[in-house]
Amino acid sequence: MQACEEFVYDTSVFPRTLATDLDLVCGQDAQRRLLGSIMMAGLMLGSVLGGRLGDRLGRKRSMFLALTFIGPALLGASQARSLFVYAACQLTWCTAVVPIWINSHALTLECFDAHTRVPVVCIKDLFYPIELMSLGAVGYLLRDWTHLHLASGALCLLAMPTWWLLPESPRWLAQNGRREEAAKVLREMVRVNGKPQLDERAEADIDKVLRRIKEHHGSDGDSSSSKNKLSFWHMFERAHAAKSAVLLLAWITTNVSSYTLQLNATKLAGNVHLNFIFAGLSEMPASVLLYFALTKTKRCCCCFIYPPSSMKL
């Protein structure tokens, strides 16, 4: 049997795709599927690095460091003319995107107290389906895969100026011996919340918060002390092993189901872009339901309703 030498593609929906440009069909289809494995490998690597980078460099620095890799990787992928180059770019941005997930969540929660974290998490999670629906709309307008990558990379670079608007986590600053910087961030929060002039009570509250963080973290604020060093294996000490195993199982089960639905949404009958948008829309009721579940039931019950968000609290 002679292998095909020329291919004719249907361009009615997509004028160009990576698969058609590189002829990743028939005997080369396995190479296209390999990209899915590379994506998951990048997400796994980013999960290992994300938390460590945030603890060492800070939440803000880690996020913007990741952005400096994601933007160029997306722009470079748009010009890739070989599978190897595209795979390298994909591994880069999939690795870098996880530190943004981890540290943006940590930064958000560390700027709020325990009483307001539930609505904050639920509101924050509403943006994820909005992002998916926006990506579907952009994909509808930009049918060429290179244009879609260029637009995504440009959006990442446009986010860089927000460096001057986003504060560092006051908790991370206080934990790493940068008390004055942490106090400055907290004073700015007080000012934005409607108190342009700080009175003695506000200053006392700020000092109280910083002392509480210092007492909880360590007497000297040194994040490198052995007392404060935690690792992955602490999750499986006798006191936490059973709880960690249940949470990990719930997390894996939920993510496998979520990725399966999202990655296969384009294979459904009908308009591929509408299917993708509806897949994102289906995530929104979960965040609304989660708010009521978190306020009315225990955290352990919510882990079986919507693990990704309930485990963050």
Residue-wise pLDDT tens digits, 238-260: 888 888 888 788 778 877 877 77
Angle at 155 between CA 267 and CA 83, to 5 degrees: 55
**14 vs 96, residue with greater confidence:** 96
pLDDT at 59: 93
Distances (CA, A) of 292 to 120, 278, 302: 13, 23, 10
- pLDDT tens digit string along 143-169? 899 999 999 999 888 889 999 999 999
If pLDDT is split at 50, 70 and 90, which confidence band does 228 have? low
Residue 14 makes CB contacts below 8 A (sequence gap 6+) with 20, 143, 144, 145
- pLDDT tens digit string along 12-43? 888 888 888 888 787 777 888 888 889 989 99
Residue 75 makes CB contacts below 8 A (sequence gap 6+) with 149, 150, 153, 154
pLDDT at 223: 47
- pLDDT tens digit string along 166-212? 999 999 998 888 888 988 888 888 888 777 677 777 778 788 888 88
State the chain's maximal CA–CA distance in angstroms.
86
Residue 265 makes CB contacts below 8 A (sequence gap 6+) with 275, 276, 278, 279
If pLDDT is split at 50, 70 and 90, which confidence band does 225 have? very low
For residues 69-78, average pLDDT: 93
What CATH number belongs to 14-163?
1.20.1250.20
- pLDDT tens digit string along 263-312? 777 677 788 888 888 888 887 887 788 778 778 777 666 666 555 554 45
Ordered by start, the domain boundaries in the chain are 14-163, 177-222, 232-313
Residue 2, pLDDT above cutoff 70: no
